[in-house]
Each structure stands twice: as C-alpha cells, then as structure tokens.
Chains A and B, each alone.
Chain A
Amino acid sequence: MSQGYTISELMACVFAREIKDGELGGCPGVRSEVPLASVRLAQRMHAPNTTCYYGAIVYNTDAPLSKFATEYDRIIGAEASVATYEWFDTLHRGDIDFFFVGGMQVDMYGNLNLVCLGDWKKPTLRGPGSAGLNTVTFARRHFIWINEHTSRVFVPKVDFISCPGYLDGPGAREGAGLRWGGPSIVVSPLAVMDFDQETKRMRLRSVHPGVTVDEVKQNTGFELIIPDSVPQTPAPSEEELRVLRTEVDPAGILRNEEPVG
C-alpha cells in the first residue's frame, strides 16, 4: 500500500529511521516541513522520548506542519518559547544529537555552501548567506537533504564552506578544532548517501525505488564510492504512511508534489 508517496514523504521516512529514541534534535528556521515531519514520525513510531528545537523559536511543539517555521502560530502548542541564540549555544556545546541542513552545493566530503558560486570577491552567483550553517556542524551528526540531485549541486569541491563536512578528508575536522560531529547521511530525490569511515568520502547507500545506480552516477559531479551491491531505499511502510498522513501531516503539505512511488 505504498502507492503514491512523494519524495518529501520518502525523505521524511528515511530521516525518521535515522533518529534514535531519547535524542535531542534541531530543525531549521526555513524549509523545515520535511525535518519536522521526520521528527514527529520518529516520535510516533519508535522514539517517543526524542525532543526537538524547531524553527528558531520553539522547543517541542504540537503545532501543525507548516512551510513557515518562524510564524507566530508555531509558538501555540510548544513546550517552550526559545530565543534563537539559546539553541545555537546548545549546538556549540555539543548537546544536540542531530540537525537537518541543506545547501546550494555539496561536495564529496559533505561540505555545504550557501554563500556564492565562483570566487567570493567576484561571485558569478551570490547566494543568500550561510544562516547558521557553521554552527550546525556542532551537532553530534547532521543530516543533509538536497532537493536537486544534479552535477550542478553535487560538485567535487564547494566554492565556499558554509557548513564544514569532512573538509578535505580524514583527520581534517580534528585539525580544524572540530572535536565531534560531521554529516551522517545525504538524502536527495534520487538516493541516500553516507560517508566511508576511512576516506570520509561520500558513498552511495541506497537508490530510491525506480532509480538506477547509473542515474545517480551521471547526476553526481564527483566519483561516488559505489559498493558492490546497492540496495533500494525501503519505500515508506504502510504504517509509516498511515502515521504521516493521519497524525503528522493531515493537511498534506508533503503530498503537494507529484507522487513517485
């Protein structure tokens, strides 16, 4: 009965399965419907003791899913109203177990860029700016989600490091004074990637239903590590979809796109 799910629903399920019971998470202040849905889903499936800072203004909220994470109505139904810098401090001291983050470029070591394409002094394209991305890297691990899987986005080396991943390989985070953390998975519309322990390079973990390994390779601007056998990303289960659609997202915000499965 997994018919008709969307990429956003699949992403929410993939992330939810990564969350462990009792963890403390963080969802960003913009574009946060998939992260919040995944936390809510995890809380209802296997992680009832997980709590979360959400959308720059609240801690643990029952507010309905929304594309707008900093609206006033988010505070209604929250367990606490939070000044944004309070959860930045919480990140810096290493209390946050997982955080969601995206970017306009991601590279083979999981570094992210939201600043510019080209040389910083004379950019060919200026981006919005880094938001809190260099702070997010102080989560114990962070989840990267990317809405476009092309070689324009998946590049060998980002033009500006907004959010450090594994920088330029093994030992680099430690050398830069980053004592913990790093990206654990990357989820795109095509596949799930993780990072090889030894080389710290991005590795294909699974391809989404209907997607081939070749398709992922062709749309990635660097050489992904491809294991001998690449499984399919498990589609949303009947129970996951039921919880998502009846409890987490009854308004259908994640379904407001073409179904894929």
Chain B
Amino acid sequence: MLRQSKVRSLAEAVSLINNGDTVVVCGFNLQNKPMALVREIIRQKKKNLWLVTAGPSSIDADQLIGGGCVRKVASVSISAERFGPIGPCFRRAVQQQSIEIWECEQGIMTAALRGAIQGVPFVPTVAGLGGDFVKVNPDLKVIQDPFEGRPVVAVKTIKPDVALIHTLIADEFGNARLEGGMFFDELAVRAAKKVIVSTENVVPTAVIQHEPRLTRVFSHMTAAVVEVPYGSHPTACHGAYTFDEEACGEYIKAARSGPDGFQEYADKYISGAPTQMEYLNLFGVERLLNIRTKVRVGDI
C-alpha cells in the first residue's frame, strides 16, 4: 500500500473546519499570513469561530471578523502596521459589542498555547502580573506559587481545533519548513489538534529530506496540504515575496469606510474571486512580479 497524499483543494481543506471551532492562525502582522485560507473560510461562511492568533495579527483577523465568521477573538493585537493602527472591522465589532474578546498579551498567549502542547489544563507565567488582563479575562487567575508563595498568573489552556499556516514549501504528506521568521508558528501547530498547511510549492519529499532541520511542521500534525501560489497575498511570504503595499492599503481604506466598504471589497476580492487564480488576476502579473523576494537567506 502507498502512503497517502494529503494534498487537497482549497475548498476541501477548509471544509475540515467546523462552525464553532477554535482556529489558530500563524504569522505575524503582515508576514506569512494564510490569506487564501482566510478568504476561503469567508466564502464557506464558517460561523461562531473562536479566532486565536498566535502572534500579532492584521488583515487576516480583520477580514474574518468583517466576514462574520468570528464569535470570540484572542489576539495580542489586530493592526496593520503603517496602513492602520487597528483593524477597522475589529474596532467596529468591539465598539458595537458584537464580538467577545479574550483579552491577552503575548506572554499570556504563549502560555495558553503551551498548555495545549504539554497537555496540562493551565500554565503558570509571570506575564500578566501588574496588568489589567486578569480583571477582564476569567481564564486568567493570579495564584500563589505553591512552593515559594509568590504570585503567578495561571493561564487556562487554549486547545485549538485547527491551526492555519502558510509556508514556502511543503511535501504532499504535510511536512513543512519554517524558512523565514518563525514567530509563534511552532507553538500554534503543536497546540492544535490538526494543521492545515497552505504552501507556495508542494515539493518532492526528497527536498524536505535534504534539510530536515528546517522541517518544523511534521506530517503527523497535518490534516491537509494545499498548494496556493501567492497564498499569503496581500501579506508577505518569507522567502517568496514581500507584502503588497497597494493591496494592503486598499483593504484598510475599504474596511475603514464602513461595513459597506468591507462588503464591496469582499464582493470583489473574496466571493467575487472564488479561486486563487481569479484572485491573482485582479492584481495582474506585473504587481505580483514586483513584490518577489530577490535575495534569500544564505545567498550572501
């Protein structure tokens, strides 16, 4: 019998996500965000997700919120660097109290994911001491260190059902490399019950075997592999392309103008472009070629 390939279409991969799931998204701000998966989640109208972002997030979280997929969000920040200090859909949802917030900062998030990795119900950390997080998040409690009596913060474990990651390469069995910034991605994929890998290129396993030290998503963690060129666009994919300034700016401007602006954007770039090829054609070859990475780590 042959080892089974986990290569799936975008639609098949995202159909593994259930309404109400806890979904953790990899990447950092405008870097390495699994945007093609995000758009497909919106197209499939997933509902009531608990959206967790392993690191700071940007238009990934903002689009999922704007798209009506999110019931509750845990993210250390939802911004867009210089394109906007905050995600517009996120701000509206919070100010209209239409979304639940699991308030945290990065040390707290790290502890919550480590709990799932280690299979423990909570993780003690110093992160959160002195801050107001414990006042507004019932999953954080200041407890006494049972040995030395000092205060520590007990962070209730977050157990994501699914992790979403976009990588430069992966093989058909779901082994994937972290070649650029590692961010919090290893924590997210190890905390989740299953991982959906989208990747620029599905490569022969021999390529993965050539440099096993770079494999940080192991095939046993992975439920599906989707080949999606420019799958992080308009954010960056480390080693392949940088973020698309114009496209990020266009999104923030549209979303900031109000729910109608977001809807117009979604009608054009999300529901209006049901496949990645149709999405990419909206930008054209020249735009996509211009953001390519010229020099790779190890080249110089």
A residues at B contact (CB < 8 Å): 29-31, 56-57, 67-68, 70-76, 81-85, 88, 91-92, 114-116, 120-135, 137-138, 160-164, 167, 173, 176-179
CB distance from B145 to the nearest CB of A (A): 9
Q: Tell me which of B15-23, B35-43, B84-92 binds A.
A: B84-92
Say yes or no for B127: interface residue by CB 8 A criterion. yes
Say yes or no for B79: interface residue by CB 8 A criterion. yes
Known contacts A71-B236, A138-B126, A177-B129: A131-B77 contact under CB 8 Å: yes
CB distance from A259 to the nearest CB of B (A): 21
Say yes or no for B97: interface residue by CB 8 A criterion. yes
Question: What residue of chain A has the Cβ atom nearest to residue B80's Cβ?
Answer: A128
CB distance from B123 to the nearest CB of A (A): 12
Q: Tell me which of B98-106, B159-167, B197-205, B279-287 binds A.
A: B98-106
A177 B76 Cβ-Cβ under 8 A: no
B297 A76 Cβ-Cβ under 8 A: yes
A135 B31 Cβ-Cβ under 8 A: no
The 7 closest A-B pairs by CB, nearest first: A164-B130, A129-B77, A177-B151, A132-B106, A135-B107, A130-B105, A57-B181
Query: Is the contact region of chain A dominated by helix, strand, or loop, or is it mixed?
Result: loop
CA A135 – CA B106 in complex, angstroms? 7
Known contacts A128-B77, A128-B79: A163-B106 contact under CB 8 Å: no
Q: A30-B79, A72-B239 are in contact. List 13 more A-B contacts (CB 8 A).
A: A57-B183, A74-B181, A81-B297, A84-B181, A84-B184, A115-B132, A125-B95, A126-B90, A129-B76, A129-B77, A132-B107, A134-B133, A177-B129
CA A76 – CA B126 in complex, angstroms? 33
- The interface centre, meaning the residue of A81, A83, A138 with most chain B CB atoms within 10 A of its CB, is A83
A84 B55 Cβ-Cβ under 8 A: yes
Give how many B residues have a beta carbon under 8 Å from the other chain's beta carbons. Answer: 60
Q: Which residue in B56, B185, B297 is a CB contact (below 8 Å) of A131?
A: B56
CA A135 – CA B127 in complex, angstroms? 5
* Residues on B with beta carbons closer than 8 Å to the beta carbon of A75: 180-181, 238, 297
B105 A126 Cβ-Cβ under 8 A: no
A178 B130 Cβ-Cβ under 8 A: yes
CA A137 – CA B133 in complex, angstroms? 14
- The interface centre, meaning the residue of A56, A68, A72, A133 with most chain B CB atoms within 10 A of its CB, is A72
